Structure 1
């Protein structure tokens, strides 16, 4: 049966003494602590001569009670005296949590931290890009160091393995664009312009953009997770120890694979989206399937195709750069892998959308609108 510490009050000669008996240890003060916190009287002495055992927690509770009452502790054994002196030296009247600044101060402080972190992040990203360029120049000078098999493997993972999901997504996007565009254009008797809408928006914008988002979620996250796990298990350190450059062996093949495969995937996505639009045109608008495809060749300017193909390798570079960079930043524990993988996907998608907006303005200014 568990033994609990208890207290009693003795009033003699105009002074009040609180006597504590029983084990003053962490397992025996469960009842004593709230009782002492609710003590309403005023005590001059605290007698712990009846305490059978005392540990640090018990000494701290007695010391706290004595401080609140302004009382003197008596009857302490030699061991209890040592503990009481220790907790007295460690005691502090500081707030458990520091006072929070005003809302405006907190907002300004957090904003400043974000800006500073963004600056440091940009500098590290530029440094990482510089390391990739150095590795690329080194490989050009020494072609035998280039890992062709790793590049082919990454091209397969980035490109060939993603064809089904990108094809399905693009086909459905083409259907949605054609169906929604036809519904709106029918109000003006211009449903035949659905061909223009589907052809131009897929080749110029959505084909490459949606492909980049899918590649960021699929391959960019895989890059971060793979390299991050290798960083966590110290495989990358082992590679450096045996004289193998991680930039040449791990990062460069992934960067090149993403750059090379993005134009092909973007073109493939655009073609499949146009096919999806042609299916809806045949079903809803009465435009024969082959007529729809032939009409696309007539109404879509060639430079729309060039615009999409110019953006594709840039998007591939951003996706691979973000995934590899975040993977190389992993340190500490397995939770960091998941965090960095999420950051890689978010960063890649954000940068892709920002660059897409920049390209839209740029090509409009040069007359490719």
Structure 2
């Protein structure tokens, strides 16, 4: 038979009134007394819980409300009752609105700053752990080259390099056309349109070839690295690899990074050549410079160190893009939404890092006389 909660009002000799609760103050039994308590107009000084056999959050809120409305003291409460009443009191919405709003704003600001700092610190530690595992895996492969997943490496070279030739080539060809056409329009104002060859050649070799290729590679291959590894994390394939003694870093990450380092300078050089061909194509019509004359003059006006600048940038850009994609892929947790989020973060981080590094390279090579 269900036991119902009840209460009585006791009056002491000094006139002090006490509400004494009895029975279980739980959600299923307090319905019979809640309306009576609300209709009670008596002023009480104490709320006695000595007769309460059980209590939950609803009962604790009921006791707190009675004590709060009558400014009474709670006595006879068990440890469980005190814990629940304290939790209910902490969530009291009846405090002063201005001070509460001010306190909430301060807490939000401090909490946001603290959360950002802690998240940044955890991210740095996680990145260091990732780089450490990568260095260990690379050292192991150097000592034992037979442990390298060569099939996976060549597969990634095929997907990220050979598969990217059409889109990179078309993009670079069109960029070369734009550079030559717009450069010629501006240089014609000074009668120096012949220097369109210099502009197209040097800009393609030094900057736009490696940079645009890296951006395209980040959107095409860096995103696929993050999505592939992130999906494997969700489907627990990465955990399964660890269980059977296969290192995910050696099997998944190292081949992708090596493939990116190998193919990026080749793709960058290929993109530079196609951009020059695009410039020669448009110059043949807009500047009346013969196609092969344009290409021949490229050899005269583009110094050899411009070629080396582009080739040096390529592996560094490839390393950055692959690291961003693989690292974010390994950070995927919990649900499929994380895959899309980390893929987006990987592409944004890779493009940002590539542009920053390109600015650094521009200053560096100018300082050493390769400007």
Instruction: Give the TM-score category using the shorter length.
Output: 0.7 to 0.9
Give secondary structure in 1 for the equivalent of 2:190: coil
Kindly tell me: are residues 192 and 135 of structure 1, through their superposed partners in 2, closer, same or farther at Cα, counting changes over 3 Å? same
1:230 aligns to what? 232
Residue 195 of structure 1 and its aligned partner are, at CA, apart by 0.7
1:189 aligns to what? 191
Query: How many aligned positions are there?
Result: 320
Maintained 8 Å contact 2:134/2:254: no
The RMSD of aligned alpha carbons is 3.7
Q: What is the rounded CA distance, in whole Å, between the counterparts of 2:268 and 2:254 in structure 1? A: 21
Q: Deviations over 1:139-195 (max 9, x none)?
A: 42xx2x322221111111101111121112111211221122112111211111111
Give secondary structure in 2 for the equivalent of 1:91: helix
1:80 aligns to what? none
Residue 122 of structure 1 and its aligned partner are, at CA, apart by 5.0
Maintained 8 Å contact 1:220/1:319: yes
Kindly tell me: are residues 323 and 268 of structure 1, through their superposed partners in 2, closer, same or farther at Cα, counting changes over 3 Å? same
1:306 aligns to what? 308
1:69 aligns to what? 69
Give unpaired runs (5+ residues) of structure 1. 1-23, 46-54, 73-83
Q: What is the rounded CA distance, in whole Å, between the counterparts of 1:199 and 1:164 in structure 2? A: 21
Q: What is the rounded CA distance, in whole Å, between the counterparts of 1:104 and 1:119 in structure 2? A: 23
Q: What is the rounded CA distance, in whole Å, between the counterparts of 2:140 and 2:333 in structure 1? A: 23
Kindly tell me: are residues 221 and 131 of structure 1, through their superposed partners in 2, closer, same or farther at Cα, counting changes over 3 Å? farther
Q: What is the rounded CA distance, in whole Å, between the counterparts of 1:85 and 1:146 in structure 2? A: 63
Q: What is the rounded CA distance, in whole Å, between the counterparts of 1:43 and 1:286 in structure 2? A: 103
Q: What is the rounded CA distance, in whole Å, between the counterparts of 2:294 and 2:227 in structure 1? A: 43
- The range that moved more, 311-320 or 117-126, is 117-126
Kindly tell me: are residues 95 and 166 of structure 1, through their superposed partners in 2, closer, same or farther at Cα, counting changes over 3 Å? farther
2:176 aligns to what? 174
When normalised by structure 2's length, the TM-score is: 0.73
Residue 211 of structure 1 and its aligned partner are, at CA, apart by 0.3
Give unpaired runs (5+ residues) of structure 2. 1-25, 45-54, 73-80, 94-99
Q: What is the rounded CA distance, in whole Å, between the counterparts of 1:115 and 1:235 in structure 2? A: 28
1:136 aligns to what? 141
> Which of 198, 201, 209 pairs up with 1:199?
201
Please list, as runs of the form range in 1=range in 2, the aligned pairs for 1:65-144 lying within 5 A after superposition. Answer: 66-67=66-67, 69-70=69-70, 88=85, 90-94=87-91, 99-101=104-106, 109=114, 112-113=117-118, 116-117=121-122, 119-120=124-125, 122-140=127-145, 143=146
Maintained 8 Å contact 1:131/1:247: no
Q: What is the rounded CA distance, in whole Å, between the counterparts of 1:146 and 1:86 in structure 2? A: 59
Kindly tell me: are residues 177 and 237 of structure 1, through their superposed partners in 2, closer, same or farther at Cα, counting changes over 3 Å? same
Q: What is the rounded CA distance, in whole Å, between the counterparts of 1:233 and 1:154 in structure 2? A: 21
Q: What is the rounded CA distance, in whole Å, between the counterparts of 1:86 and 1:320 in structure 2? A: 52
Residue 90 of structure 1 and its aligned partner are, at CA, apart by 4.0
Please list, as runs of the form range in 1=range in 2, the aligned pairs for 1:20-99 lying within 5 A after superposition. Answer: 66-67=66-67, 69-70=69-70, 88=85, 90-94=87-91, 99=104
- The range that moved more, 264-273 or 235-244, is 235-244
* Regions of 4+ moved over 6 Å: 55-58, 84-87, 102-108
Give secondary structure in 2 for the equivalent of 1:332: coil
Maintained 8 Å contact 2:61/2:88: no
